[in-house]
Amino acid sequence: MRLFLREHLGIVMLFVLVVGGLLPLYQGVGGFNTTGGMTYFLCLSGFLLVATLTVRYFRRRRLYRWLGSPGRVLEELLGQESTDPLVNAFIQHGNASYQRYLGLLTEQQAATEQWRTHIVQWVHQMKTPLSVIRLLAQDGEGSRDPFPVLCELDRLQRQLDLVLSLARIERFENDLVTEQVHLSDLARGVMQQNQRLFLQSEVSVACTGEDVVVNTDRKWIGFVVDQLIHNAVKFSEPGSSVEVRIGARPEGAQLSVIDTGCGIRPRDLPRVCDLYYTGSNGRAGSQSSGVGLYLVKQVLERLGHSLQITSAVDEGTTVTVRFGTSTAAAA
């Protein structure tokens, strides 16, 4: 009630001023011949004012009661109906805003849960190389032959880079620099960085095809190529080979990573780029986090490139990055 009175105090004061100003004017032109007539006018005007304010209050009383009680929650008001157009408009607007808020809250909760899941998986991935390094140190093998330790350190570094990339993908535009990139030089640089992985896995990797220049981000496309080569080697048998094939087609430049490994089951193929989806091959081992291909797809979409995956079980997998006609030119 106090909120209602404060809101309409200006109307009451305006009424008093108008009536107080009109009475002398009306009396001066002979409008009231008797005191009773003036009294009747004042009573009628006051009654109409009180009646109007009373009707207005009862139509909006739920809103005033809710606003006057700090402890009340918004849902109590949004679930009600009113005969007053203003209150109904307020409730409809509040419902729309509330639903948007719930949607944003749900998205934030999902993102938080997603990040928590990744941290748990990441910690699990880090435990294996740490355990291997500890065993090598206890046996004294690390001092005689540093190669196994260096391989495990590479795995640790890869997991750290993966976490950083997952965090940076949300602010991708802040870390984007496009330039002319020679795909052959880029691929060979990535292969050079993974020499220990190739030796440890006993898998040979070769870069074939013509040199092609594309307009893209060197660091992010290097991350993509690194992930694709790493996946190909990881699911290849010792003694097999992986080919990085680069070429220019009428529809644009493309880079393919081809392996002859275990392949991807048809039921897994549509979901291999989903976050945390490891598929049948990933569940059979312990090295898959379900993050790499998800990040690859996210990066390529943000760069304006596309990804195509074809595979046959026990025959191998071909993953192709297509750069488009506007980005490719033979060097």
Quick: pLDDT tens for 251-287. 889 999 999 999 999 999 999 998 878 877 766 655 6
Tokens representing 115 are: 């990040």
**Among 152-156, 194-198, 233-237, which stretch is predicted with the lowest mean pLDDT?**
152-156
Distance in angstroms (rounded) separating the CA atoms of residues 215 and 181 = 6
Q: Which two tokens stand for residue 74?
A: 């918004």
pLDDT confidence of residue 331: 46
Binned at pLDDT 50, 70 and 90, residue 178 comes out as very high
Contacts of 179 (CB under 8 A, 6+ apart): 215, 216, 217, 218
Question: pLDDT tens-digit profile of 151-160?
Answer: 888 888 888 8
Phi-psi label, residue 266: left if phi above 0, alpha if psi -120 to 50, beta otherwise:
alpha
Q: CB atoms < 10 A from the CB of 236, how many?
A: 22
pLDDT of residue 86: 65
What is d(CA 116, CA 121) in angstroms, rounded to the nearest whole number?
9
What is the structure's pLDDT at 249? 85
pLDDT at 68: 61
**More confident position, 296 or 84:** 296
One-character DSSP codes across 98-144: HHHHHHHHHHHHHHHHHHHHHHHHHHHHHHHHHHHHHHHHHHTHHHH
For the chain, give every domain's residue range.
Answer: 2-72, 180-330
Side-chain half-sphere of 175: how many Cα atoms within 13 Å? 13
Among 5-19, 23-37, 101-115, the minimum mean pLDDT is found in 23-37
**Confidence band for 328, pLDDT divided at 50, 70 and 90:** very low
Assess whether pLDDT exceeds 60 at residue 114: yes
In this prediction, residues 72-89 reach a mean pLDDT of 62
Q: Residue 223: its pLDDT value, please? A: 95
* CA dist 330 → 66, 137, 224, 325 (Å): 70, 50, 21, 11
What kind of architecture, by CATH, is found in domain 180-330? 2-Layer Sandwich (3.30)
Examine the pLDDT at 102 and tell me if it is beyond 50: yes
Tell me the HSE value of 282 on the side-chain side, using a 13 A CA sphere. 19
Over residues 120-166, the pLDDT tens digits come to 777 777 777 777 777 777 776 555 678 888 888 888 888 888 888 87
More confident call, 113 vs 185: 185
Mean per-residue pLDDT of the chain? 81
